[in-house]
Amino acid sequence: MIENAPSADAPAPVRTSTLDLIGNTPLVLLKGPSEAAGCEIWGKCEFANPGASVKDRAALWIVRDAERRGELKPGGTVVEGTAGNTGIGIALVANALGYKTVIVMPDNQSKEKMDTLRALGAELVLVPPTKFADPNHFVHTSRRLAEETEGAVWANQFDNVANRKAHIESTAPEIWAQMEGRIDGFTCAAGTGGTIAGTGMGLKAFDDAITVALTDPHGAALYNYYANGELKAEGTSVAEGIGQGRITANLEGAPIDTQFRISDEEGIEWVRRLLSEEGLCLGLSSGINVAGAVALGRALVAQGRAAPRVATILCDTGFRYLSSLYNADWLRAKGLPVFPWLAN
Ligand code: PMP
């Protein structure tokens, strides 16, 4: 017998629609993080979605919700402003349902994401990276494009609560079932906030004693907001897809019990260790989430909880960041540590 060989005795589910491939992702015990925390740390493998990120779920819920409300009709167009992963999810869902996709994104995002969106058939509109208050910000540009385009809907992932509903209705019940109801803590970072708010709300509905923690990168304002009510950002981060400066509609009422602030260096250290020691190739938001999960696990142990179990989100695949996070020149230019095997 080959150890860890897949067995057809417990076959993976059979699907009759490609859209059914979204969600129901595996949960994996992370060895290094568990040792570091002194308790079990579990990662939800969102890179296993068809679009290789957690955002496939939000894309499916947003598109189906627009159909149900009668706003999206056959042959219609879905327009969104996105750092990339939501666009990839929307493009796949829209292709599967016969809609067109227009994606607006800041031009400082990874080349892989842009190439991927074009490859998937989305029309790509690049805008300069600006502050949210700027009318040319990618979010406002996408709203305007949707208004100006016949038969188009604006996905509006930041303030459309169909986004967090995806996590209330899928991510949370999946984690609860996979952990057989034995879960003490959940944490992840926020981009739109859909994942942390929805998964947090869904898990609390099962068991209010589960500690929900926000893991905030530097350069985001939510750590201070949940710590002392002040929306104030400090520092910077190169992590894509996370780091929020306002309370989006998806974040309203998020049941955040505690919060951690995690640096890019800490996140990169977990990306390095998970790849070199456990064979998982992840993006930086996953590394930051794992650092947050280790902090939460340690905090729960320190509180005296017996053998706590913590879950977090492995948001997307590292293959999406070959020209950035996995590129020595890029890392050096950002003043970040270079993975030893890339250093020469
Ligand atoms: N990680 C990555 C790589 C992402 O693209 C996103 C989505 N912006 C997130 C994390 C955060 O997810 P959410 O929008 O649900 O807060």
The ligand 1 atom at the shortest distance from the C-alpha of residue 195 is 15
Using the predicted structure, report yes or no on whether residue 331 has a pLDDT greater than 90: yes
Task: Return the pLDDT at 111.
Answer: 79
Q: What is the pLDDT of residues 155-174, one digit of tens each?
A: 999 999 999 999 999 999 99
* Active-site entry in 44, 55, 100, 113: 55
Task: Return the pLDDT at 84.
Answer: 84
Using the predicted structure, report yes or no on whether residue 23 has a pLDDT greater than 80: yes
Q: What is the pLDDT of residues 271-293, one digit of tens each?
A: 999 999 999 999 999 999 999 99
- Nearest residue by C-alpha to atom 8 in ligand 1: 241
The residue-averaged pLDDT of 211-237 equals 97
The ligand 1 atom at the shortest distance from the C-alpha of residue 167 is 15
Whole-number Å distance between alpha carbons of 64 and 78: 11
Whole-number Å distance between alpha carbons of 181 and 177: 6
Using the predicted structure, report yes or no on whether residue 313 has a pLDDT greater than 80: yes
Q: 207: pLDDT confidence band, cut at 50, 70 and 90?
A: very high
| The two structure tokens encoding residue 96 | 């599967």
Cα 178 to Cα 22, 24, 135, 223, 322: the distances in Å are 16, 10, 44, 29, 31
pLDDT more than 70, % of the chain: 100
User: Mean pLDDT, the chain, as a whole number?
Assistant: 96
Q: ipTM score of the complex?
A: 0.99
Q: 108: pLDDT confidence band, cut at 50, 70 and 90?
A: confident
Task: Return the pLDDT at 154.
Answer: 98
Whole-number Å distance between alpha carbons of 95 and 89: 10
The residue-averaged pLDDT of 1-27 equals 95
Amino acid type, 7: S
The residue-averaged pLDDT of 2-13 equals 92
pLDDT more than 90, % of the chain: 93
Task: Return the pLDDT at 110.
Answer: 73
Residue appearing with tokens 């304002």: 221
Contact (Cβ atoms closer than 8 angstroms) between residue 222 and residue 175: no
3-state secondary structure the chain: CCCCCCCCCCCCCCCCCHHHHCCCCCEEECHHHHHHHCCEEEEEEHHHCCCCECHHHHHHHHHHHHHHCCCCCCCCEEEEECCCHHHHHHHHHHHHHCCEEEEEEECCCCHHHHHHHHHHCCEEEEECCCCCCCCCCHHHHHHHHHHHCCCEEECCCCCCCHHHHHHHHHHHHHHHHHCCCCCCEEEECCCCCHHHHHHHHHHHHHCCCCEEEEEEECCCCHHHHHHHCCCCCCCCCCCCCCCCCCCCCCCCCCCCCEEEEECHHHHHHHHHHHHHHHCCCECHHHHHHHHHHHHHHHHHHHCCCCCCEEEEEECEEHHHHCCCCCCHHHHHHCCCCCCHHHCC
The residue-averaged pLDDT of 33-61 equals 98
**Ligand 1 pocket, 52 CB below 6 A?**
no
CA 305-216-211 angle, to 5 degrees, is 25
Task: Return the pLDDT at 83.
Answer: 66
- Which of 158, 285, 320 should be mutated for ligand 1, with most atoms under 8 A from CB? 285
**Ligand 1 pocket, 292 CB below 6 A?**
no
Contact (Cβ atoms closer than 8 angstroms) between residue 315 and residue 46: yes
| The two structure tokens encoding residue 334 | 């950002």
Q: What is the pLDDT of residues 300-311, one digit of tens each?
A: 999 999 999 999
**Ligand 1 pocket, 284 CB below 6 A?**
no
Task: Return the pLDDT at 189.
Answer: 98
User: Rounded to two decimals, what is the model's pTM?
Assistant: 0.96
Q: Is 111 a catalytic residue?
A: no
The ligand 1 atom at the shortest distance from the C-alpha of residue 191 is 16
**Ligand 1 pocket, 318 CB below 6 A?**
no
Whole-number Å distance between alpha carbons of 331 and 267: 13
Using the predicted structure, report yes or no on whether residue 236 has a pLDDT greater than 90: yes
The ligand 1 atom at the shortest distance from the C-alpha of residue 193 is 16
The residue-averaged pLDDT of 11-17 equals 94
Contact (Cβ atoms closer than 8 angstroms) between residue 113 and residue 136: no
Biggest alpha carbon–alpha carbon distance for the chain: 61
Task: Return the pLDDT at 210.
Answer: 98
Using the predicted structure, report yes or no on whether residue 112 has a pLDDT greater than 80: no
| The two structure tokens encoding residue 230 | 């002040």
Contact (Cβ atoms closer than 8 angstroms) between residue 87 and residue 103: yes
The answer for residues whose C-beta is within 8 angstroms of residue 291's C-beta and 6 or more apart is 215, 260, 262, 266, 267, 269, 270
Cα 16 to Cα 20, 21, 119: the distances in Å are 7, 9, 25
Q: Which of these, 287, 290, 284, lies nearest to 321 by C-alpha position?
A: 284
